[in-house]
Chain A
Amino acid sequence: MIGLLLIWSVVPVSMIVLSSFKPTPDIFTYPPTLLFEPTLEHYRTLWEKWPDFFLTLRNSAIIAVCAMALTVFSSALAGYVYSRYRSSALAGSAVFLVAIRLLPPIVITLPLYPVVDFLKLSDSYTLLILLYATFFVSLGTMILKTFIDGIPEELDQAAIIDGASELQILWRIIVPLSAQGAVAASIFVFVYAWNEYLFAFIFTTTRAKTAPVVISEMMASLNGVDWGLLFAAATTQLLPVVTFVVLVQKYLIAGLTAGSVKG
């Protein structure tokens, strides 16, 4: 059973990673061989033929990190207010926060197109950062609210008596004690922004193009896909994010259960 699970989730990925180091003929041997002379030839071809790929990888990294920062910043502030305050307007906006998640992202591509053009945001980092942050700010807020709910409110009360301002309470008490929630929220946004295809495909052409879009172009450059090259690109794209997720899996699980089950 556990063996099947390993085959299901690890084998497909490791085949790609291993094949990216195989000399071309060895990629196609059947049954797949584990004995081969490792080579970097596909990575060299990638560097020589698709130098843009590494630029798009940098774009992906910048966009993902900024989207992460923006989401965590907005979600922490909102999560704090939802956790500590009660009012009917607030309850109404919480319903809005949940209900807006029903909206499929593709629906807004059409009206955004002319606006984006008008604001000269087409093919820009800013646009993708805003889009990615927006689609995760609801989940981020719920995750952070759940974590902030876990911080005893007596701590805030004591600080208020000591004359602390709202910002001081946030910075001195809430931020340090809800850091795990912030990490959990960051993982979701980072993974999403690093891997996202739809918006990047529709809204970027050259300057802000992301790595998944280039990989899809490599795959589509038919008349014989260069599989070795494709695997080298895929491996470069997936290794950072897979490593990240495996390292922080504890927070990922905490975030999933906080954001969906309780939210």
Chain B
Amino acid sequence: MRKFGLTQFVMLAPALGLLIFIILLPSLYVFWLSFTESTYGKAPVFVGLENYVAIWNDRYFWRALINTLIVVNVIVYGELILAFVIASVLVKGVPFRRLILAVVLMPYAISEVVAVVIWKFLLDPDIGALAKAMASAGLPDINWATNPTHGLGLVSLISIWLNLPFTLIIIYAAMLAVPSDLYESATIDGASPWQGFRYVTLPSILPAVFVALIFRYIISFRLFSEVWLLTAGGPARTTEVMAIYLYKQSFTYASFGKGSATGWVMVMVSGLIAAAYLHLLYRRGFRQNA
């Protein structure tokens, strides 16, 4: 067997170096900053847990946290349901499969900025084609600038639109890997399509579903651009999410300590989500093997 030595260490250096110097060390410095108070041109002063207490007592922090948790769940489960439906159709075989896949993947290549341009235009109450179609169907306008629910709803829609390709490809690839004789025997045994999904497809693709869920939870938790470009957290800070709250604490209010504390709350919540899902995955794995 080949031995890991200096040459191999040097080969790892570029990748690990980038991660250590650009992510690990700065994030540890943020950890230190979160126990200090500082602003532009002022050296950090140690204040203990004061920043954490301050954000704990800040109702805007709770608003941002709750908004984030709601939006993240809407995005992640919205994508998952759509991905299930679309993948079950694709997996049965469709004409022009490659073309359809290319089409489905398209939003993946669109930037958040352009996606916001697109949906703002489509839903503009005065000029948007979709808004007018909705109005003639008797549906109310989407007032993202004034109504926080509409604002966050539209943010979720844009985010689902942009990220569905990721979830879909993972679920679709997992479904393709399910042996088709499993379905055949289920059909012979008289299983309905729903039962086929519930008892054949779902158990087989569960690991992939968990992977998609963890990834999407962690990535959506960082949600920034869509909100920033659409509402910038307004009106009256009602549509802020964690990343917007962090940005405002750090750069608008120049309170580096509170910004850093928010950052570590984000890191810890992301970690908890990942840990919870990994735990679930692990337990399920055991139960199935037992």
Contacts and interface: CB of A to CB of B under 8 A. Distances in A.
Interface of A: 1-2, 5-6, 8-10, 12-13, 15-16, 19, 27-28, 30-32, 70, 73-75, 77-78, 80-81, 84-87, 89-90, 93, 96-97, 100-112, 115, 130-131, 133-135, 137-138, 140-141, 160, 166, 191, 194-198, 201-202, 212-213, 215-216, 219, 227, 230-231, 234, 237-238, 241-242, 244-246, 249, 252-253, 256-257, 260-261
B80 to A, nearest CB: 15
Contact of A246 (B4, B105, B164, B221): B105
Which label, helix, strand, loop or mixed, suits the secondary structure of the B interface? Answer: helix
Which label, helix, strand, loop or mixed, suits the secondary structure of the A interface? Answer: helix
Give 10 closest A-B pairs by Cβ, nearest first.
A195-B111, A74-B14, A78-B15, A107-B263, A245-B109, A111-B26, A74-B15, A87-B4, A212-B113, A77-B11
Contacts of A231: 117, 121
A245 B112 contact: no
Given A195-B111, A198-B225, A5 B4 contact: no
Nearest to A1: B89
A110 B259 contact: yes
Interface string B271-290: 10010000000000000000
B62 to A, nearest CB: 19
Contacts of A86: 1, 4
Given A1-B89, A73-B14, A84-B2, A104 B103 contact: no
Contacts of A28: 127
A80 B211 contact: no
Contacts of A85: 2-4, 8
Interface in B83-101: 86, 89, 94, 98, 100-101
A102 B15 CA distance: 17
Contacts of B23: 100, 103, 108, 134-135
Contact of B18 (A90, A134, A198, A249): A134
B83 to A, nearest CB: 12
Given A12-B119, A137-B18, 6 more contacts: A9-B164, A28-B127, A135-B23, A237-B114, A256-B166, A261-B207
B18 A130 contact: yes
B27 interface: yes
A78 B224 contact: no
Contacts of A202: 251
Contacts of A111: 26-27, 29-30, 33, 260
Contacts of A105: 222
A253 to B, nearest CB: 6
Contacts of A245: 105-106, 108-109
A1 B91 CA distance: 13
B173 A198 contact: no
B107 A9 contact: yes
Contact of A261 (B3, B211, B256): B211
A81 B15 CA distance: 11
B113 A197 contact: yes
Nearest to A32: B129
A30 B81 CA distance: 32
